[in-house]
Amino acid sequence: MSALHVLLVDDSPTAALFLQAKLDSAAQGITELAVQRASSGEEALQLAEKTGFDLAILDVVLPGVDGFHVCKQLKQQRSTCQVALLTGLQTDADKQQGVDAGCDAYIIKPIDDLRLSQLVKLAYIRAQTVNHS
């Protein structure tokens, strides 16, 4: 099985660094990861045009287009991509926006290791299913 292609979108370099380290840790024993990072929605969508991502973890509040928009676009381009919105926005209206955007998970920061591990596993299983079909 080739590496799981992961897209991390966060305009905070510190948060992206932290999240990548956590992801690497969560994926140990499950699969290799090929992680690409974007610091804006536009950059994320450009990367997604070239790479078929299996898992995308998106911040919502981004400069330019927000994470909701990116989520919608990613799901339209590749419905098998697991998209998780990782955000500090907690209102019901925000969560509804996430659901309307088609996200597979709406996670309030900070994400815990178990949840991250579950995301990686689900994406891995889905990617295996797609590859074998």
Partner 1 sequence: MSTASPHSSELLQAFTAELEQLLTQCADLLQQTWCQENARSLFRIFHNIKGTAQLLEFAEIAQAAQLAETLARSEEANCETELKRIHHYLSDALESLHNNTGQKKAYVSSRAEQLINHINRKQALQNSEQLALFSLVGKQLTLLCQADRKQQYLSLNKLSQASKIMDIENMEAWLNELEHQIDTQTINTEKLVANLVLHPRFGQAFQQHIAQESV
User: If DSSP codes are grouped into helix, strand and coil, which group holds residue 91?
Assistant: coil
Note whether 113 and 25 are within 8 A (CB). yes
What is the C-alpha separation between 103 and 107, in angstroms, rounded? 10
Report if residue 15 touches partner 1, rule: CB under 8 A. yes
CB count within 10 Å of CB 63 equals 10
Q: Which stretch binds partner 1 (CB under 8 A): 15-23, 28-36, 69-77, 121-129?
A: 15-23
Binding footprint of partner 1, residue count (CB under 8 A): 18
Judge whether 58 and 9 are in contact, CB under 8 Å. yes
Q: Is 17 in the site for partner 1 (CB under 8 A)?
A: yes
User: Pattern 26-55, binding to partner 1, x per CB under 8 A?
Assistant: ------------------------------
Can residue 133 be called a binding residue for partner 1 (CB under 8 A)? no
Which of 3, 13, 96, 100 binds partner 1 (CB under 8 A)? It is 13
H/E stretch holding 21 reads helix 13-27
The set of residues, in sequence order, having a beta carbon less than 8 Å from that of 103 and lying 6+ positions away, is: 71, 83, 84, 85
Nearer to partner 1, 12 or 79 (CB): 12
Among 99, 100, 109, 125, binds partner 1 (CB under 8 A): 109
Where does this chain bind partner 1 (CB under 8 A)?
Answer: 11-15, 17-18, 20-22, 24-25, 59, 61, 63, 88, 109-110
